[in-house]
């Protein structure tokens, strides 16, 4: 397994007292060349997990293993090596790319920072190669980010993430700032790159249509916990957790005959500060039973007969026990 996340937590004291449980014991794993998607409403903790994977935030507890190594125990040199292998593409390329730098410098920066630029000719060759991979012309090197469209800017961000030949890229809502017409192009580009280089992705997204076709496995998060997780084909075709069912029922679908199910999710996502007891989803769950308000549901494996190579289909709901 390339990346293994176990029982990850991020708790911090709230200003007015109490504890915010932004991430409250999340586990998942990603194999080389695979895509794992984390989905859920904003406030569910998925962005905090992305920041923890990128070492921008330190977890309160839990482990992150990359290629068998405990990432949270790495020394300075180890962290540098990890950062080389784990890159990121963020939602809005306008804010993630320094507007004062030409594309050539934007792409060269990570190589120079890690001492991998080589001589001038080798660096230029690598920059042109990166542009070609993402489908931009050589002339792009001498232009500033604002001289490109949103989709082209995201291509530049992808090229920059590829510069150090990473093994994993964290994609944080990679298409949600783009026009709908451009989204498919970026998804196709990311898929092609994944196939060519055997890259793994962790994609953070609320766009379920994107996730369904792009990811091999998916984790559905609710208020800091995993509600359901498993192979995307299984979770999307037979969602078992009432929250996943509600999310899928309310997602806009390409099928014009599909009417979004109404009233499935009641009210807003709660707060990670003093979350509800028992199943955190119970105040909004249309199928809640009395035990849901007091007892935390255990994660249950739903596909005991499945082969060990596929990620397990699991869900945490009293109705499944």
Q: Cβ of residue 252: shortest distance to ligand SF4, in angstroms?
A: 23
CA 38 – CA 128 distance, rounded (Å): 33
- Is 153 a residue that touches ligand SF4 (CB under 6 A)? no
Helix (H, G, I), strand (E, B) or coil at 222: strand
- Is 275 a residue that touches ligand SF4 (CB under 6 A)? no
* Burial letters 188-214, b for 16+ CB under 10 A, else e: ebbeebbeeeebbbbbbbbbbebbbeb
List the one residue from 226, 292, 302, 314 that touches ligand SF4 (CB under 6 A). Answer: 292
- Is 279 a residue that touches ligand SF4 (CB under 6 A)? yes
CA 265 – CA 269 distance, rounded (Å): 9
User: Around 12, how many Cα atoms within 13 Å sit in the side-chain half-sphere?
Assistant: 9
CA 149 – CA 117 distance, rounded (Å): 28
Residues near ligand SF4 (CB under 6 A), total: 15
Nearer to ligand SF4, 208 or 223 (CB): 223
Nearer to ligand SF4, 200 or 227 (CB): 227
Only one of the segments 41-49, 103-111, 193-201, 278-286 lies at the binding site for ligand SF4 (rule: CB under 6 A); that segment is 278-286
- Is 282 a residue that touches ligand SF4 (CB under 6 A)? yes
Paired tokens of 321: 């026990």
- Bridge-based pairing of strands 200-205 and 217-222 is unpaired
List the one residue from 104, 166, 297, 311 that touches ligand SF4 (CB under 6 A). Answer: 297
Only one of the segments 48-56, 210-218, 263-271, 274-282 lies at the binding site for ligand SF4 (rule: CB under 6 A); that segment is 274-282
Cβ of 264: how many Cβ atoms within 10 Å?
18
Only one of the segments 33-41, 63-71, 180-188, 285-293 lies at the binding site for ligand SF4 (rule: CB under 6 A); that segment is 285-293
Q: Cβ of residue 176: shortest distance to ligand SF4, in angstroms?
A: 27
Instruction: Could you list the beta-strand ranges (E) of 211-254.
Output: 217-222, 225-231
Nearer to ligand SF4, 67 or 295 (CB): 295
- Is 223 a residue that touches ligand SF4 (CB under 6 A)? no
- Is 300 a residue that touches ligand SF4 (CB under 6 A)? no
User: Around 178, how many Cα atoms within 13 Å sit in the side-chain half-sphere?
Assistant: 25
How far is residue 153 CA from its own chain's centroid?
20
- Is 160 a residue that touches ligand SF4 (CB under 6 A)? no
- Is 61 a residue that touches ligand SF4 (CB under 6 A)? no
Degrees, nearest 5: CA angle 52-172-251: 120
How far is residue 274 CA from its own chain's centroid?
25
Cβ of 38: how many Cβ atoms within 10 Å?
28
Stretch 169-208: interaction string toward ligand SF4, x if CB under 6 A: ----------------------------------------
Only one of the segments 9-17, 78-86, 197-205, 277-285 lies at the binding site for ligand SF4 (rule: CB under 6 A); that segment is 277-285
- Is 281 a residue that touches ligand SF4 (CB under 6 A)? yes
In the complex, the residues that contact ligand SF4 under the rule CB under 6 A are 241-243, 279, 281-282, 285, 287-289, 292, 297, 317-319
């Amino acid at each position: 397994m390339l990346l293994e996340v176990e029982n990850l937590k991020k708790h911090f004291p709230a200003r007015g007292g109490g504890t915010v449980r932004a991430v409250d014991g999340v586990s998942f794993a990603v194999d080389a060349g695979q895509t794992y998607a984390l989905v859920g409403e904003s406030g569910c903790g998925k962005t905090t997990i992305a920041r923890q994977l990128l070492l921008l935030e330190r977890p309160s507890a839990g482990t992150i293993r990359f290629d068998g190594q405990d990432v949270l125990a790495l020394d300075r040199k180890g962290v540098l090596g990890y950062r080389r292998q784990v890159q990121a593409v963020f939602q809005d390329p306008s804010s993630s790319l320094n507007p004062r730098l030409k594309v050539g410098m934007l792409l060269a920066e990570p190589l120079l920072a890690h001492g991998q630029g080589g001589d001038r000719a080798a660096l230029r060759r690598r920059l042109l190669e990166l542009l070609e991979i993402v489908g931009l012309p050589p002339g792009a090197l001498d232009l500033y980010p604002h001289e490109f469209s949103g989709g082209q800017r995201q291509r530049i961000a992808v090229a920059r993430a590829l510069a150090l030949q990473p093994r994993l890229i964290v994609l944080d809502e990679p298409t949600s700032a783009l026009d709908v017409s451009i989204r498919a192009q970026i998804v196709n580009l990311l898929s092609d790159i994944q196939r060519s280089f055997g890259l793994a992705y962790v994609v953070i997204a609320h766009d379920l249509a994107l996730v369904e076709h792009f990811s091999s496995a998916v984790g559905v998060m609710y208020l800091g916990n995993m509600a359901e997780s498993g192979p995307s084909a299984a979770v999307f075709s037979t969602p078992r957790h009432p929250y996943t069912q509600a999310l899928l029922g309310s997602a806009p679908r390409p099928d014009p005959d599909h009417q979004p199910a109404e009233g499935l999710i009641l009210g807003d996502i709660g707060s990670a500060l003093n979350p509800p007891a028992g199943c955190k989803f119970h105040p909004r769950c249309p199928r809640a039973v009395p035990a849901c308000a007091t007892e935390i549901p255990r994660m249950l494996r739903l596909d005991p007969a499945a082969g060990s190579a596929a990620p397990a289909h699991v869900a945490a709901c009293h109705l499944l026990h």
